[in-house]
Amino acid sequence: MRSYLLGLSLGILASGIIGCGGDDDKGGADAGSTFKGYGANEGGEFRAEYVTFADGTIGTRVVSFFYADPGPTKYFPFPAIPGCTDMTGLKNWPMATNPVAERTYLDPGTITMSGGAKTLTVPRQTAEGVDFLNRTHSANNWFFYFNPTDGADYVKAQTLQSVAITGSDKFPAQTFTDVLYTPAAFQLNAPGLGPVAVPAGMDQTFTWGTPDSMAGSMPPAGFTIMSLLAFSGDQGPAVLCVEPNDGSITVPAAMVDIARAKYPQGGTLARQTFAHNPIQMKDSTGLTDRRIDFISTWCFATSWTAP
């Protein structure tokens, strides 16, 4: 059985988000109860990205970690969907976390991602570090891979891919079959790959193609393709906009100004489509009330400036 059948649609997610702000413990799957999908408490993440950079090179970026306990706050609300969210306060998933000292990680053993041209073993990070969403992880408890030129090797568009862990005493070996689906390759319409000047006090509209909506190119059942735009920088996204993928996102002027206040020298403009698949976590005690977020993304990472 494909594990993504446990997921809910992002449409359901969106309505759930609005109603649960500030609720820091969603509870969940006690014996006999139903897994809450996007509404379940956090159990970790596997995120794979196919990234096209401004110079046309293509890379793979992967991050993963798993929690035995995410800390005192078990559930951080999702960003607004549809809409734009100020991420600078670190109140929303995926950037919000409890302090690293208050989190307990699970050891997954070795993590591999298959289904692309090659199988990727995601390197364990042996030093404390900060991932690209500005989340600090303790040494040996996070996995990260980045290669700016091997995008065609590991992440494949319009393809189901699987993730496997070899496990440990508290987190048994398991394979998450067909848990990732990467959206179709799309083209930027306007603006293109070059640096994008983002003036203060003005709405900004971005457009791109939507091949996932073409006949014969629809995602498999259980997956919904969403679009995302982020004004990002060295401390992660300042503003995150997420909508159903209709080929256009307009960022309101107020959000533009927040991005400029955070990154007055500009930064990285992320334009992407993605599929997000929450899977019920199973540890050595059996099924838990926590979710693992599996996310696969087709992304352009270019630069923006703040004139």
Site of interaction with another protein (CB under 8 A)? 51, 53-55, 57, 61, 63, 86, 88-89, 123, 125, 129-134, 144-150, 195, 197, 199-201, 232-236, 253-254, 256-258, 260-269, 301-307
Length of the chain: 307
Token pair for 265: 């020298």
**Between the CA of residue 242 and those of 155, 227, 272, what are the distances in Å?**
22, 6, 10
Which CB atom, from 2 or from 124, has the smaller least distance to another protein? 124
- Shortest distance in whole angstroms from residue 232 CB to another protein: 7
- Shortest distance in whole angstroms from residue 255 CB to another protein: 10
Which CB atom, from 129 or from 192, has the smaller least distance to another protein? 129
Which CB atom, from 61 or from 74, has the smaller least distance to another protein? 61
Distance (Å, whole) CA 292 – CA 284: 15
Which CB atom, from 133 or from 275, has the smaller least distance to another protein? 133
- Shortest distance in whole angstroms from residue 20 CB to another protein: 21
**Between the CA of residue 95 and those of 75, 107, 109, 184, 219, what are the distances in Å?**
12, 21, 24, 26, 27
- Shortest distance in whole angstroms from residue 139 CB to another protein: 13
CA 226, chain centre distance (Å): 11
Which CB atom, from 156 or from 262, has the smaller least distance to another protein? 262
- Cβ(286)–Cβ(244) under 8 Å? no
- Shortest distance in whole angstroms from residue 41 CB to another protein: 24
How many Cα atoms sit within 13 Å of 71 on the Cβ side? Answer: 12
Which CB atom, from 234 or from 246, has the smaller least distance to another protein? 234
Distance (Å, whole) CA 307 – CA 299: 25
- Shortest distance in whole angstroms from residue 280 CB to another protein: 27
